[in-house]
């Protein structure tokens, strides 16, 4: 265990040792020379190859592989740190993974600072936004629970848009008031600088939220509200950050600039949505023609998604909105077109890619904390930390009070507390703070951002799980939904859509039903191959559940014991199963009887005389009554006489009607004295097996009526 934690430190120390051995200002050797030959320096300082030196057996050329070598070492460090966390005994149950990774980054940053006596490398904003953030957002969008997300889309947008504006304006204006009160130390911080800092510090990081909430297994509604709000919150905060940054670069801000800024926010969000929708449909159409090259089918998922993100960033649109929309759009069509092996490859590669990016982000957060650019101010740091908690809590309470009046399933107070307490900050605000143009208090902004991140990740991240258990927040189901549950949920959706259509209310079920019709009539026919189109919606539900079970999500572990391994059936075993099923099906078909209805007439009983009668189980009282009453002397031909047959039938009907044996004896003796003869033929009381089982109530009532007539006589 200790080796797993010390090996990353040794790798980083060796890396820094290599960096120390090679001065940065030394020019690398020309690559056109063979590595085994040296070169002499000419008088003018240029290289000369006229007089080769002695042949070198061993040489080191670190500059030739410096960039990929350092990248591989950082990825190895992140992977080993994650592996050590999951093998650290009880630590995962107490401390979140993000906290441990940040502590590893702090330790590595301290080692680098001690070796080089200078600040360790920091995570640049370009590296974060162009390489590390897209895999995490793509994974979140591709595996987004679509039904829950779109059912709660209004509430998510309510929190993400209005809640973010509430936090940005509240924190920015409050911090400006703090700066006015502390004129001696914070007098040079303007209102736009405070609003700019409020826009970046209000960004709830989906990476931190995912890493914490996936370990708690809260209910689906709470999870989708927190995760969806953090995902769309980033898009809003990035847009507001760029807007305030543009205002800072203007000589003066007028009312028209504010109006154009509001229009820009709408254009950036809708533009990213349209770009993601376009690339998602193109990716789905491309996957339709990958049947002859299934090997490269997963590649189009990653290429089109990343291309949508880069295109949006190039057009100054929301890249997060674009990649999420692209992933949600193409998922159902891509999964229907590609093979199961390709689907498995897509799922595992996305999980691996996002996990490595998330681990690198948290480690670099810890490494970048060790630096010489810190500036401390107690009023500004403490007020920022307090205002972040106050404004988020008040925003959640006020917005939820309004949205609960429009929701069927109200957000409980416990869920509101978890939503407000789960606003964790992370790498997004850390990367944005380094993009601020230089001004005297930039280092103070950086220090305050680091303090807020460490407080939310360590204090709130470590205490939110005990609070969830203390408040007894509803947890989610640990089992996958069955086909029956999916069918019943769809039945309810169709029923609600019909009710909304009848009453003339265009609700979410109405529009969902219209989209399903449009999707089935046009999109699926155009984007999915004909041989892969499911003929039944039940079959599509079954295929989706099979894919979920094969994926083996942590959210829904399999119901079977993973230790029990099943082997494939042999051909002779399959033949035996087929023979057993066919024989049972043939026997079942032979036992089928026509359906009985009390509104239809009985068939002729003489048609089924050859069949053996079905024997009914008799109780002890019935057997004694039958033996007492119907034990009549037989004739030579072995048949009862006609009168005896009638009385026996009546006595049996009395037994079925649950009359006592004494009354049966009296009634039978009375009827025998009357000497009445039943006009029915002799073979009619042998009821066919088709009518004996279902003749439950009507024959009982008929025979009871005959006995009453006999009593009246």
Assign residue 213 the CATH number of its domain.
1.20.1530.20
Distance CA(581)–CA(491), nearest Å, equals 32
Contact 242, 464 (CB under 8 A): no
Total domains in the chain come to 2
In a domain, 302, yes or no: yes
DSSP state of 132: I
Q: Which residues pair with 40 in a beta bridge?
A: 48
Report the C-alpha dihedral over residues 626, 628, 629, 633, rounded to 10 degrees. Answer: 110
Distance between alpha carbon 83 and the CA centroid of its chain, in Å?
Answer: 24
Is 381 in the same domain as 517? Answer: no
Q: Which residues pair with 36 in a beta bridge?
A: none
8 Å CB contact between 426 and 205 = yes
What does the radius of gyration of the chain's CA atoms come to, in whole angstroms?
A: 39
Rounded-to-10 torsion of CA 445, 449, 450, 452: 140
In a domain, 671, yes or no: no
Residue pointed to by tokens 């991240």: 461
Give buried/exposed letters for 15-44 (b at 16+ CB in 10 A, else e): bbeebeeeeeeeeeeeeeeeeeebbeeeee
Helix (H, G, I), strand (E, B) or coil at 122: coil
In angstroms, rounded to a whole number, what is the distance separating the alpha carbons of residues 609 and 637? 19
According to DSSP, the residues that pair with 48 across neighbouring strands are: 40
CB 254 within 8 A of CB 178: no
Residue 40 φ then ψ, to 5°: -95, 150
| 224 and 284 both lie in a single domain | yes
Q: How far apart are CA 1 and CA 295, in angstroms?
A: 39
Domain that holds residue 381: 125-359+372-471
Shared-domain flag, residues 139 and 210: yes
Which residues, listed in sequence order, are joined to residue 55 by a DSSP beta bridge? Answer: none
The residue among 432, 462, 456 whose CA lies nearest residue 445 is 432
CA distance 100 to 91: 9
The 3-state secondary structure of 225-293 reads HHHHHHHHHHHHHHHHHHHHHHHHHCCCCCHHHHHHHHHHHHHHHHHHHHHHHHHHHHHHHHHCCCCCC
CA distances from 142 to 298, 329, 331, 334, 335 (A): 13, 9, 6, 11, 11
pLDDT for res 427: 83
Q: Give domain status of residue 315, yes or no.
A: yes
pLDDT at 434: 87
Distance CA 497, CA 163 (A): 31
| CA distance linking residue 429 with residue 241, whole number of Å | 10
| Residue 487 and residue 433 in one domain | no
Cα separation values, 696 from 576, 596, 625, 652, 657, Å: 40, 11, 20, 14, 10
Instruction: Let me know whether 154 and 274 are in one domain.
Output: yes
Residues in Cβ contact with 138 at an 8 Å cutoff, skipping those fewer than 6 apart: 302, 305, 306, 323, 327, 350, 353, 354
Per-residue pLDDT at 69: 92
Assign 218 to helix, strand or coil.
strand
Q: How far is residue 418 CA from its own chain's centroid? A: 19
Residue 509 makes CB contacts below 8 A (sequence gap 6+) with: 493, 496, 497, 500
- Quote the CA–CA distance of 668 and 283 in Å, as a whole number: 86
Residues 467 and 495 in one domain: no
Report which DSSP code applies to 105.
H
CA atoms within 13 A on the CB side of 483: 10
Domain termination residue (choose one: 511, 531, 551): 531
Summarize pLDDT for 148-205 with one digit per residue, the tens.
899 899 999 999 999 999 999 999 999 999 999 988 888 889 999 999 999 999 988 8
Asked whether residue 431 falls in the same domain as residue 341, the answer is yes
Assess whether 290 and 380 both reside in one domain: yes
Q: 209: closest CA among 105, 98, 298?
A: 98
Q: Does the predicted model carry a pTM greater than 0.85? A: no
Task: Report yes or no: 77 and 15 within 8 Å, Cβ to Cβ.
Answer: no
Q: Do 387 and 493 reside in the same domain of the chain?
A: no
**At 41, is the secondary structure helix, strand, or coil?**
strand
Where do we find the tokens 């309004």?
Answer: 402
Q: What is the pLDDT of residue 417?
A: 93
Determine the distance from the C-alpha atom of residue 242 to the mean position of all C-alpha atoms in its chain, rounded to a whole number. 31
pLDDT of 568 reads 66
CB environment 372-408: b (16+ within 10 A), e (fewer): eeeeebeebbebbbebbbebbbebbeebbeebeeeee
- 112 SS3 class: helix
pLDDT of residue 398: 95
C-alpha 305/C-alpha 309 separation (Å) is 7
Residues of the chain where predicted confidence (pLDDT) is lower than 70: 1-53, 477-481, 531-569, 584-713
pLDDT of residue 614: 42
One domain for residues 245 and 162: yes
Which residues, other chains included, contact 14 with Cβ-Cβ below 8 Å and sequence gap of 6+?
none
Name, in order, each residue with C-beta under 8 angstroms of 672's C-beta and a sequence gap of 6 or more: 643, 647
Q: How far apart are the first and last CA of the chain?
A: 100
Task: Give the side-chain half-sphere CA count within 13 A for 537.
Answer: 12
Q: Is residue 210 part of a domain?
A: yes
Whether residues 304 and 414 fall in one domain:
yes
Token couple for 363: 């480690």
* Integer angstrom CA distances of residue 124 from 246, 310, 357, 433, 434: 21, 17, 14, 11, 8
Backbone phi, then psi, for 218, in 5-degree steps?
A: -75, 175
SS in 3 state form for 340-360?
A: HHHHHHHHHHHHHHHHHHHHH
Count how many residues are written for the chain. Answer: 713
46 phi/psi in degrees, rounded to 5:
-85, 155
Predicted pLDDT of residue 57 = 86
Closest Cα to residue 261, out of 275, 279, 243? 243
Task: Give the ranges where 519-569 is alpha helix by DSSP (H).
Answer: 524-527, 537-551
What is the Cα–Cα distance from 209 to 223, expressed in whole angstroms?
10
Copy the structure tokens of residue 284: 């789905």
- Quick check: is 549 in a domain? no
In a domain, 339, yes or no: yes
User: Are both 344 and 199 inside the same structural domain?
Assistant: yes
Which residue is listed with tokens 């480690």? 363
Q: Whole-angstrom Cα distance, residue 131 to residue 78?
A: 16
Q: What is the pLDDT of residues 435-447, one digit of tens each?
A: 898 888 899 999 9
Domain boundary among 428, 450, 471: 471
Residue 679 included in any domain: no
Residue 544 within a domain: no
């Amino acid at each position: 265990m200790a080796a797993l934690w010390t090996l990353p430190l040794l790798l980083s120390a060796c890396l820094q040792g290599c960096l120390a051995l090679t001065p940065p200002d030394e020019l690398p050797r020309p690559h056109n020379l063979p590595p085994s030959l040296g070169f002499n320096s000419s008088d003018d300082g240029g290289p000369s190859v006229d007089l080769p030196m002695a042949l070198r057996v061993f040489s080191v050329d670190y500059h030739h592989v410096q960039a990929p070598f350092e990248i591989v070492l950082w990825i190895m460090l992140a992977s080993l740190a994650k592996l050590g966390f999951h093998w650290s005994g009880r630590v995962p149950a107490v401390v979140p993974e993000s906290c441990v990774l940040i502590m590893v980054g702090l330790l590595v940053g301290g080692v680098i600072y001690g070796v080089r006596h200078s600040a360790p490398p920091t995570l640049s904003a370009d590296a974060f936004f162009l390489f590390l953030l897209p895999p995490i957002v793509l994974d979140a969008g591709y595996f987004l629970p679509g039904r829950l997300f779109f059912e709660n889309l209004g509430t998510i947008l309510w929190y993400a848009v209005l809640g973010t504006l509430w936090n940005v304006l509240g924190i920015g204006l409050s911090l400006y008031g703090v700066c006015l009160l502390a004129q001696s130390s914070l007098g040079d911080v303007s209102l736009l600088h405070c609003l700019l800092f409020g826009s970046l510090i209000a960004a709830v990081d989906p990476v931190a939220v995912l890493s914490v909430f996936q370990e708690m297994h809260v209910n689906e509604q709470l999870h989708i509200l927190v995760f969806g709000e953090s995902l769309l919150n980033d898009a809003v905060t990035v847009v507001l950050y760029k807007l305030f940054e543009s205002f800072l670069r203007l000589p003066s801000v007028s009312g028209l600039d504010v109006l154009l800024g509001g229009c820009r926010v709408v254009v950036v969000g809708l533009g990213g949505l349209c770009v993601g929708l376009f690339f998602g449909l193109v990716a789905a159409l491309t996957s339709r023609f990958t049947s002859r090259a299934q090997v490269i089918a997963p590649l189009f998922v990653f290429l089109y998604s990343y291309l949508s993100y880069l295109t949006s960033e190039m057009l100054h649109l929301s890249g997060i909105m674009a990649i999420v929309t692209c992933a949600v759009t193409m998922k159902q069509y891509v999964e229907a077109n590609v093979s199961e092996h390709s689907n498995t490859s897509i799922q595992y590669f996305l999980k691996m890619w996002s996990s490595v990016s998330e681990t690198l982000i948290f480690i670099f957060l810890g490494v970048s904390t060790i630096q010489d650019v810190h500036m401390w101010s107690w009023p500004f740091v403490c007020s920022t930390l307090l205002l972040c908690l106050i404004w988020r809590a008040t925003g959640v309470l006020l917005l939820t009070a309004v949205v609960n009046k429009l929701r069927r399933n109200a957000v409980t107070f416990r869920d509101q507390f978890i939503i407000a307490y789960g606003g964790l900050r992370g790498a997004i605000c850390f990367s944005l703070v380094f993009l601020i143009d230089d001004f005297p208090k930039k280092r103070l902004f950086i220090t305050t951002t680091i303090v807020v991140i460490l407080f939310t990740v360590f204090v709130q991240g470590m205490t939110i799980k005990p609070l969830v258990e203390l408040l007894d927040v509803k947890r989610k189901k640990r089992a996958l939904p069955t086909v029956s549950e999916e069918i019943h949920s769809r039945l309810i959706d169709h029923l609600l859509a019909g009710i909304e259509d009848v009453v003339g209310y265009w609700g979410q079920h109405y529009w969902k039903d219209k989209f399903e019709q449009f999707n089935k009539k046009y999109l699926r026919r155009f984007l999915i191959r004909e041989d892969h189109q499911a003929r039944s919606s039940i079959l599509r539900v079954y295929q989706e559940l099979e894919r979920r079970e094969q994926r083996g999500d942590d959210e829904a572990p399999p119901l079977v014991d993973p230790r029990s391994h099943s082997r494939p059936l042999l051909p002779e075993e399959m033949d035996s199963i087929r023979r057993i099923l066919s024989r049972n099906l043939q026997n079942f078909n032979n036992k089928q009887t026509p359906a009985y209805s009390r509104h239809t007439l009985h068939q002729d009983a003489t048609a089924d005389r050859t069949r053996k009668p079905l024997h009914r189980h008799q109780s002890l009282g019935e057997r004694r009554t039958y033996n007492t009453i119907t034990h009549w002397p037989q004739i030579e031909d072995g048949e009862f006489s006609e009168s005896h047959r009638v009385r026996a039938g009546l006595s049996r009907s009395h037994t079925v009607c649950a009359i006592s044996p004494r009354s049966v004896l009296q009634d039978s003796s009375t009827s025998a004295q009357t000497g009445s003869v039943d006009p029915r033929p002799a073979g009619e009381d042998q009821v066919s097996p088709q009518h004996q089982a279902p003749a439950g109530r009507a024959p009982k009532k008929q025979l009871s009526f005959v006995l009453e007539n006999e009593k009246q006589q």
